[in-house]
Structures are given as structure tokens and as C-alpha cells.
Structure 1
Amino acid sequence: MLEKIELKNFRCFENSKITIKDLNIIVGKNNAGKSSVVEALRMISMATKKCTKTTYINAPKSLKLPLTIKGFRLPVEKLKIDLRSVIYYYKADIAKITAFFKNKTKIVVYINSEVAFATIVDKNEDIITTKRKAEMLDISSISILPQISIIKENEKRLSDATILDDMDTYLSSRHFRNEMFLFKKYYFNEFKKLAEETWPGLRVRDLDYNYSRSEYINLLIEDARFPAEIGFMGSGIQMWLQIIWFVCRSQGSETIILDEPDVYMHPDLQLKILNLVKSMFKQVIIATHSIEIISNVSPRNIITIDKKDRQMRFANHLEAVQNIVDDIGSVYNLSLIKLNSSNKCFFVEGNDIKILQQFYNILNPKGMHLLDSIPSLPLGGFKRLNEAFGASKLLYENSKGCFKCYALLDSDYYTDSQIEEQYRKSIENHLSLHIWRKK
């Protein structure tokens, strides 16, 4: 998996580093450099997939690299990456992107206005010179969602080589049915299952190609009992099915990257795709402006991109995330959004949630949710318990019983009769209260 990315003289970055965790939500103001980071990730992803399948050559002379360096060209034109302005303020001859992996290998991409050239470096700092040696390194594959668009109304059968060559490029949408037909026996059943589970009322009926009847591949979809070929369906369902297909065919990758999936979908679908990729992949990177996604992850997983920073920083607390939301131009209050989306909150002594999260991770190692994504309020003890009673009753009654509050407190040397009285009040005020037997 990825451990760190380093950008030198690349686009708007002079010399910046980005640490990568298991879950990473990348945010940033307009013109802060988020799109440039995504471009770098696209090139790294392409390199992970080409390194074991291509012939290694000497570096192009225009890069002015040592003759000992061998690697392979990246066809970035298929990613719609324009190299003419790739150098930071035109101050250097080349830009450099370095991806550090947890197994101590590296991918280094050298770029100028003419070419992007990737090299592989092993844990001993030796440069890999053949695809056979690259296979021995076991570099984890990285899958990044292509720039998807509306599906063609009709799609003729293409050669396997054409489909494979363009799968991770902007042409993927134009070859959607072809991809599915080529990999039908591997991913279609999983695609059908996930699509129907995540889109209410959807049925994936059939994927068919019979040249004697038609020169086109047909994907028959039924939405809310309305059957039609996918080319005649709305843009929303077309985009969603492309994302689900991408997720299904990327299951061999350890790392998955989504670039602004919120552009294509409603808020409820944004949360579905977030939870889906978290449950299926070891490492998730999502570049987004979505308040729904930002408000449903831990602050420690939100990283702000700023082209002026040498080291990109994670938010670490809710106030920092609120500042991020304000910076990107939103008027939303994250605390209220968290309350609304979770329909629950915790009242605790102080910094209890971090400790409870450790127990939760042990009891639910595959849990998709984080306790610190649920709103919590430190009471400091029994003295402010009446505030929790009032808030719990207000939220419960105004939500018609849908909102639930929980409190977890120390006994603070109170007598058994005093504690029993607090339990009685908690029932009256719809607060689920637990008091530790010891201080």
C-alpha cells in the first residue's frame, strides 16, 4: 500500500509531501492543488499497472537522467494530462513524483513538457530494469476511477486489445458494455448484486451480444419496473453503474482512489459508495468537496491540500474540519450535520471516545463505522448530567423517537441510592445511561 507521496517542481508544488493512511479524504480550496495531486495519483496508478507488463528502456535524452536509469513511458495523453505546464513556475528542467510503498519500494516519475517516464526502485535503492524483476517486488496495484461520462447510446464490439488498453482512461465510458462483456464471467454477478443492493428498485436484467441479431452489445436495465437498454437510461443511473462496475473490477487492488464521486450522485449515494469502498479495500483515497462524506469520517482521516505547505496535514479534530468546510465555501455546520446523519450522540466524562474506539476496534475488527464520527459532548461528571437529560428529551421528542442519546459516566463516589435516582431520571428523559461501578 501507499505510505507517502512526494511532489517536486510538479505543477503548483515546489516540494511537498503527503502522508497516506488507510482512509484518506482529500479536500482543499479552489486552486489549492487538489487536481494536481489527483493527476499525480493517476500517473502512479498507471505505473503500478504497466511495470510488470512493459519493456524497460533507457530514459529519454530530454530528461537528462543518468544512462543507468531504465524505466518506461507513461501514455499520459490517455489520462488527458497536459504536460506543457507541468514544471513548477518553469524553474527546473523536470518535475518529479515519488510514491513510497509500505514494502519500501518506490515508483519515481520524471516529467518534462514532452514525456512522463516511470522508474521502479527496490528496497535496496536499486533501479529495476526488467518487468520480470518488477514482478518479484510485488508492488501493490492502485486503481483510480477514470474520468467517466455519459455512456454511448450504442456500442459495437471492440477487440480485446483495444478494451484492455483503454480501461483506465477517459475512453472507459465509451467502452462500458465492452468491458462488461469481456469480463462477464469474472465480475458481472458481483456487479449485478452490488448494483441492485445499492440502487432501490434497480434490476440488472441481461448483458447480451449476438452478432446475427445485432451488431451492438445490449445491457438491459430495469429501474422502478421500467425496462430499457442502458443507453436510454438517465445520466444519474449511468454514472452510478459505471462507478459500481469500476469498484467490482478493481477488487484485485489494495488501493482505490475516487476523484470527486459526489459530482455524479445524491448525498445518500455518496455515503453508500464511501461505506462500500471502506469495506472492500485496504486503502481508500477520495478527493471530494462533499459535506456528506466529510461529516461521516473521522477528522484524523481528512487531509487538506495547500500548495504552499511542505507537509500536508490531517485535520485531527472537528473544529479543524469546520474550518476546512468554511474555506471551501460551504455554509453548513458540521456538528449539526453529524447530529442529523447519525441520529444519536454520546455524553461522556471527557476524552472517553478515543479509549472506547480501541475496544470497539477489537470487538468489531471489520466494523465500517468509527465511534468518533458520532457527535459527543464531554460533561465532566454528574454535575452536568441534567444538561444531558434536557438535551436527550428535546431531541427524542422533536424527532418522534428517532434520535437517541447515550451517556457513560463515572460513579464519582455517589451512593447507590443517588445513582438509582439518576437512572430513574434517565428513563424519564429517554437517555440511555450507564454508570461505571468504580470511579
Structure 2
Amino acid sequence: MSEVRISSVKFKNFKALSDYSVSLAETNILVGANNAGKSTVISAFRILDVALRRARRLKAERVPLADGKFGLGHRIPEQQISVSLENVATNYNGEDSRIEFRLTNKNKLFLFFPSDGGCILHWESEGPLVTTTLRFKSAFPIVIQIVPVLGPLEHEEAYVSEDTVKNALNTHRACRHFRNYWYYFDEAWEKFSTMITATWPSMAMSKPELDIGNKKLRMFVAEERIDREVYWAGFGFQIWCQLLTHLSRADEASIVVIDEPEIYLHPDIQRQLLSILRALDSDVLLATHSVEIMGEADPSEILLVSKGSKLARRLRDIEGVQLAVEELGSAQNITLSHLARTKKYCL
């Protein structure tokens, strides 16, 4: 896996963020009030993921840039992007929009959104002119692992093609093909099933089974030695299985991106999630409203996002975390949670 990382992201006239910067470290937990811009940051990485996949497959072409200039890049088909590109400009001002990603090797990637519509990827590099897929991979060895928006599993999951599963992996449709995924891609099954048992001790997973006659897939989980189809194991467990599925295939990722994974999850499981993310070899970008995750995190891992500022502010101490929690409308005492976690006591 490459040691090159994305070090920062800068937004110009993109949705909620008119002029905004985010500096990245190994663990980046985005917090803030509703409509503060957390999901806007996450959406930038969703778009970049699609753009990078295209640039790794296809030779660069001549594309329009800002101020009437032209350069090498790629036009990104809007139908491949899971983020709406309607009204991209901040406050509908009708101007061009732009996102800049800086890499630790000093190269830069740009997503350009002309005022008349569309999305264009282009770049700047320190080395030779990047014209081929081989040179692109060398100059920009970045892999983004997107954990899509997760939902409950299908009651009865139809057997679909391998291509259908692949095309839906990073989209909201991924939850419809959970059993199919493990039917086709079982290389990491042992890692996944071990993670399930370690984090949810009463559960033991079995590989999916194909009912050829009905063209349906079933997947059983043993809870205290009683087998049941995974659909009947509860929404929280279904979400957790999907989260660990995506994390189990993140070995080659430069950064793992997750938006509000805490939905349906018990507080204890939310706290476990942060430990699992820290153990990954990749950087992590996580947007959350979870006070449990914030309480488990080190203050330096938390970035406070606010449209009223020019940059996301990395917190310094527990007092800063407490202020961020109160901004979310919670009355939880983070200081006491931190003392309990570190096993410190006040007399």
C-alpha cells in the first residue's frame, strides 16, 4: 500500500462551504450541528472516488478548466456520481465551484464544477506530465474506501450477477446485496467472521447459501447455538455486519470514509467502532452526531465543522470536546466519560 495520503481539502463555492479548508490526520472525526457542512465534506470524497476510478482506467483527455483555460483531465459522468450536482454553487450564486485535494507527495487533485453543469477532474503534479493511466497511478496512488449509507437487509435477497454487486458496492444499494457480496467475494470471510464473533460475542456467522430453485440467498447466524436467518437478527446487528464487511476490504485503502454510521447501533458498539477504525492501516474520515464516539475519541481526533469559520478546527482538550457536545444539543458530561474510560477518579 502506498504511503501517500491526502493531507488537506479546500472548498471554493461548493454547496454549504463557500471558502473552507479541512486538514487531515490519521483519524478525523467530523462533528458539528446539522447543516454545518459535515456531509458536504464527505460528499467530496464520494465524488473523488468515482473520478479516481475513471482516471485509473482511461487515458487523460483535454478538458476545460477555470478562466477559459484547458488542461488534461476527465469529464466524470453525472450518472456515476451518487451525489446530486444540482445547485452545487453556494447560495445558488451561479459561479463555478471547485474542490482541491492536496497529497503528501505535493501533488494536487481538483474537482471542477462549471456553472453550466458537470464535473471535471484535473490535476497538478511535481514530476513528468501525467497523460497515461500508468503515470496517473504513480503520481496519485490514492485509494478511497467509501462506506455507503447503510440500511436494513432485504427480507429475501434475490441472487444477482457479480457485476451487479460490484456496481452497487459504494452506493446506497449495497445493503440489498449483502448476502450476494459474501457469496461472490469470500476471500476475507475468515477475517470478517472473526471480527463479528469478537465484537458481538454471542453471534457466529455462516457463509451464504444459494437456493437455486427460488434464486434466493440465505445467510444464517447462530446466536447461542440457535440458527436464524440474518434478517431476523435485528437491525443493529445487520448494520454492524455491513460495516465490518466494508472495513474488511479496506486493506488497500489510503482513507476510509464513513457518514453517520451510528444509526441503529447500541452505544457499546459505537464505542467499539472507533477502536476498529484506529486499527486500520488507512486514514479515517468519519462524520458523526454520536456523543458516544466523541467521548471515546481523543480530542485531537475531532474536527469541529462550522460554516461560520474558514477551516475545520481540530480540538485540543476535553473542554473543547464538551463545548462541541453542547453545540450538538447534548447534556452529556464528556469529562466524566473520559475519566471513566481512562480509569481516573476524582476524590
TM-score (norm 1): 0.73
Corresponding residue of 1:102: 104
Match of 1:93 among 92, 95, 111: 95
How far off is 1:105 after superposition? 2.2
Match of 1:166 among 165, 168, 172: 168
Match of 2:76 among 57, 70, 73: 73
Distance 1:293 1:39 in 2: 21
Code of the aligned partner of 2:21 = K
Measured at CA, do residues 58 and 293 of structure 1 come closer, stay the same or move farther in structure 2, by a change above 3 Å?
same
Helix, strand or coil for the counterpart of 2:21? strand
Structure 1 unpaired stretches of 5+: 346-387, 392-439
How far off is 1:264 after superposition? 2.9
Measured at CA, do residues 217 and 49 of structure 1 come closer, stay the same or move farther in structure 2, by a change above 3 Å?
same
In the alignment, is the contact (CA less than 8 A) between 1:10 and 1:88 conserved in 2? yes
Corresponding residue of 1:429: none
Code of the aligned partner of 1:269 = I
Helix, strand or coil for the counterpart of 1:84? coil
1:319-398 paired onto structure 2 within 5 Å:
319-345=319-345, 391=347
Code of the aligned partner of 1:312 = A
Corresponding residue of 2:178: 176
Aligned-residue CA RMSD in angstroms? 2.3
In the alignment, is the contact (CA less than 8 A) between 2:142 and 2:254 conserved in 1? yes
1:116-195 paired onto structure 2 within 5 Å:
116-124=119-127, 126=129, 128-184=130-186, 186-195=187-196
Distance 2:87 2:94 in 1: 12
Match of 1:114 among 95, 108, 117: 117
Corresponding residue of 1:208: 209
Measured at CA, do residues 285 and 28 of structure 1 come closer, stay the same or move farther in structure 2, by a change above 3 Å?
same
In the alignment, is the contact (CA less than 8 A) between 2:179 and 2:219 conserved in 1? yes
Corresponding residue of 1:45: 49
**CA distances 1:189-224 after superposition (whole Å, capped 9, x unpaired):** 11111111111210112322353x541122111223
How far off is 1:307 after superposition? 1.3
Code of the aligned partner of 2:264 = Y
The reply to whether residue 19 of structure 1 matches residue 23 of structure 2 is yes
Distance 2:67 2:168 in 1: 30
Distance 2:13 2:164 in 1: 34
In the alignment, is the contact (CA less than 8 A) between 2:274 and 2:297 conserved in 1? no
**CA distances 1:277-309 after superposition (whole Å, capped 9, x unpaired):** 101233112111111211222212211111122
Distance 2:190 2:258 in 1: 23
Code of the aligned partner of 1:149 = G
Measured at CA, do residues 261 and 320 of structure 1 come closer, stay the same or move farther in structure 2, by a change above 3 Å?
same
Code of the aligned partner of 1:73 = I
Distance 1:242 1:235 in 2: 11
- Number of aligned residue pairs: 342
Code of the aligned partner of 2:199 = T
Corresponding residue of 1:375: none
Code of the aligned partner of 1:201 = S
Corresponding residue of 2:197: 196
Corresponding residue of 1:312: 312
In the alignment, is the contact (CA less than 8 A) between 1:78 and 1:169 conserved in 2? no
Code of the aligned partner of 2:179 = R
Match of 1:33 among 24, 34, 37: 37
How far off is 1:14 after superposition? 1.4
Code of the aligned partner of 2:206 = R
Measured at CA, do residues 327 and 280 of structure 1 come closer, stay the same or move farther in structure 2, by a change above 3 Å?
same
**CA distances 1:248-272 after superposition (whole Å, capped 9, x unpaired):** 0122112112211122311111111
Helix, strand or coil for the counterpart of 2:194? helix
1:256-335 paired onto structure 2 within 5 Å:
256-335=256-335
In the alignment, is the contact (CA less than 8 A) between 2:33 and 2:327 conserved in 1? yes
Structure of greater relative contact order (alpha carbons < 8 Å, 6+ residues apart): 2
Code of the aligned partner of 2:37 = G
In the alignment, is the contact (CA less than 8 A) between 2:9 and 2:22 conserved in 1? yes
Distance 2:43 2:165 in 1: 22
Structure 2 unpaired stretches of 5+: none
Distance 2:52 2:266 in 1: 32
Helix, strand or coil for the counterpart of 2:216? coil
**CA distances 1:106-157 after superposition (whole Å, capped 9, x unpaired):** 221112463222224323495x333232122252211121011111122233
Distance 2:78 2:196 in 1: 32
Corresponding residue of 2:228: 228
In the alignment, is the contact (CA less than 8 A) between 2:188 and 2:248 conserved in 1? yes
Q: Percent identity?
A: 24
More helix by share: 1
How far off is 1:93 after superposition? 3.0
**CA distances 1:1-40 after superposition (whole Å, capped 9, x unpaired):** 1100000000121111110011111101122111211111
TM-score (norm 2): 0.91
Code of the aligned partner of 1:151 = L
Measured at CA, do residues 328 and 140 of structure 1 come closer, stay the same or move farther in structure 2, by a change above 3 Å?
same
In the alignment, is the contact (CA less than 8 A) between 2:211 and 2:218 conserved in 1? no
Measured at CA, do residues 133 and 201 of structure 1 come closer, stay the same or move farther in structure 2, by a change above 3 Å?
same
In the alignment, is the contact (CA less than 8 A) between 1:206 and 1:221 conserved in 2? no
Helix, strand or coil for the counterpart of 1:344? coil
In the alignment, is the contact (CA less than 8 A) between 1:54 and 1:72 conserved in 2? no
Measured at CA, do residues 273 and 205 of structure 1 come closer, stay the same or move farther in structure 2, by a change above 3 Å?
same
